[in-house]
Structure 1
């Protein structure tokens, strides 16, 4: 298996870990560590966009969920959590489709 194929497989695993995070809360934290570990190895390849995409998705989603969670006391938080959830799913699906098509993620 070529190095690019190994890195693509690695990206697929991290996407799956992010998806599993909706059921098993700890897996996105494993995935983000994995992203940072392999980030330099993917520089200059079409897979670099996937690592950057996943990292950005993780941090923005985490921030959104925290803010939404804190604001649930005044009810607007439920809307924020819902919007972040939909955005989070969109980003993961869009990234997986691009990965499956051997293409970089287009923002």
Structure 2
């Protein structure tokens, strides 16, 4: 009888493991997002890269669960923020004030998405597509 696997226990352990990974990733994203919004509190982009790698590696483990949407949400958020920062980079080179405004808006958007994801993860809710 010791060979019988309790499927519910395995699913519960997997769900808890994915939630833990999700929280680690969200906290890393949050540190970077807060650093981007608060002057003088710039966090290392290395934290964001670590969080992105975690999400890319563990996303497959979440397939078929409500948590898969959170992995996709974080990955899309980072990719869109990077694209937006790169697209607005010339504003910094040509006109500092518009560049600063654009980057502030992108940073606030990034922070909003991370907080929204954290709130929904805490409620065990999937993210919208």
Q: Same fold (TM over 0.5)?
A: yes
Give the conservation status (yes or no) of the 8 Å contact 1:61–1:88. Answer: yes
- Of the candidates 41, 50, 69, which is equivalent to residue 70 of structure 2? 50
Runs of 4+ in 1 over 3 A off after TM superposition: none
Report the alpha carbon displacement of residue 104 of structure 1 after superposing the two structures with TM. 0.6
Q: Residue 103 of structure 2 corresponds to which residue in structure 1?
A: 81
Any conservation in 1 of the 2:30–2:115 contact (CA below 8 Å)?
A: no
Higher mean C-alpha displacement, 70-79 vs 40-49:
70-79
SS in 2 for 1:18: helix
1:19-30 alignment runs, 5 A limit: 19-21=30-32, 22=35, 23-30=43-50
**Which segments of 5 or more consecutive residues in structure 1 lack a partner in the other structure?**
none
The Cα of 1:58 is off from its aligned counterpart by 0.3
Runs (5+) with no aligned partner, structure 2:
1-11, 36-42
Cα offsets for 1:2-25 (capped at 9, x unmatched): 110110010000011112223232
Greater CA radius of gyration, 1 or 2?
2
| In structure 1, distance between residues paired with 2:90 and 2:45 | 18
Count of matched residue pairs: 107
